[in-house]
């Protein structure tokens, strides 16, 4: 019996690699279909409602012709929602009705973690982008399971609270977020400072983790001292590192926190970083302010 294999998973979860491997290991037995490659060929990857309908019609025709030619078919789109799976099912059912040939539809889940998919996407030539992958993960993988989804931690490690500075512990005043050298002008976010103070008193390690460049360490230390903030460590991005906050903070976390502390919770404000803590790393994160920037 001929098979149509639908691979289902996030971008960079290994779908296309597996599909190509299957072709190599079964010479002449499979045909591979991928809408991204059809989009690139037909429309230079330009998305529109009309283009997408045309791509789907072409893909459906290719699927039918492959089956008529006696081939198995592997489809390595994301296939995360029900709609593309149902469309393939309808095409196959019509083929069976027209020809009398039975075709088995098989769905293979790519159980690659979100963290691994994001890491793979970061190093490949044609990136989908972390924001897109996170949005797909929240929509199609978590679905209605809003969480929280915490990763297990070693509770025997020293307890810690991680806290961001700009927009979280510090309220920016009369400066750009990119002008950290002027941070001594900032106001203190008093409720957050009280949280930090209380947990410090309880013996919890207070770890400040900032997207400010290292060159702004001195004014940052001055501001912390002026506002009587008690803490145990301050980690900052390297001077000249212009990568996204989420990427930088993940590296700081892995270098200085992971496996060394039991993180009770994180205080942060920016959406992309909050998603890092909650979705990628599975840590409790309290979002301090609106962070869609």
Please tell me the pTM assigned to this model.
0.61
Nearest to 283 by CA among 123, 145, 160: 160
* Ordered domains of the chain (ranges, CATH): 2-112 (3.40.50.300), 159-287 (3.40.50.1000)
pLDDT tens by residue, 114-142: 888 988 998 888 888 888 888 888 888 77
Task: Give pLDDT tens digits for 202-257.
Answer: 999 999 999 999 999 999 999 999 999 999 999 999 999 988 888 899 999 999 99
Q: Which residues of the chain have pLDDT under 50?
A: none
Helix/strand/coil for 189: coil
pLDDT of residue 25: 95
């Amino acid at each position: 019996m001929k098979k149509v294999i639908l691979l289902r998973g996030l971008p960079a979860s290994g779908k296309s690699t597996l599909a190509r491997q299957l072709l190599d290991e079964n010479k002449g037995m499979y045909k591979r279909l991928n809408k991204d490659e059809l989009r690139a060929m037909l429309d230079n990857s330009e998305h529109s409602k009309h283009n997408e309908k045309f791509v789907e019609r072409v893909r459906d025709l290719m699927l039918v012709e492959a089956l008529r030619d006696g081939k198995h078919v592997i489809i390595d789109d994301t296939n995360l929602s029900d709609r593309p799976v149902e469309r393939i099912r309808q095409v196959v059912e019509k083929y069976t009705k027209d020809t009398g040939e039975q075709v088995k539809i098989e769905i293979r889940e790519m159980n690659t973690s979100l963290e691994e998919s994001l890491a793979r996407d970061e190093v490949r030539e044609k990136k989908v982008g972390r924001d897109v992958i996170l949005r797909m993960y929240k929509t199609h993988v978590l679905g209605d399971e809003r969480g929280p989804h915490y990763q297990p931690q070693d509770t025997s490690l020293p307890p810690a609270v991680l806290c961001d500075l700009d927009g979280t512990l510090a309220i920016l005043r009369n400066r750009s977020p990119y002008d950290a050298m002027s941070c001594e002008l900032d106001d203190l976010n008093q409720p957050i400072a009280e949280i930090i103070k209380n947990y410090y008193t309880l013996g919890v390690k207070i770890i400040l983790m900032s997207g400010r460049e290292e060159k702004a360490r001195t004014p940052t230390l001055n501001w912390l001292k002026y506002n009587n903030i008690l803490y145990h460590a301050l980690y900052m991005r390297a001077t000249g590192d212009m990568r996204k906050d989420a990427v930088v903070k993940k590296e700081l976390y892995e270098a200085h926190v992971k496996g060394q502390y039991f993180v009770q919770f994180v205080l942060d404000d920016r959406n992309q970083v909050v998603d890092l803590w909650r979705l990628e790393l599975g840590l409790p994160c309290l979002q301090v302010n609106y962070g869609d920037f």
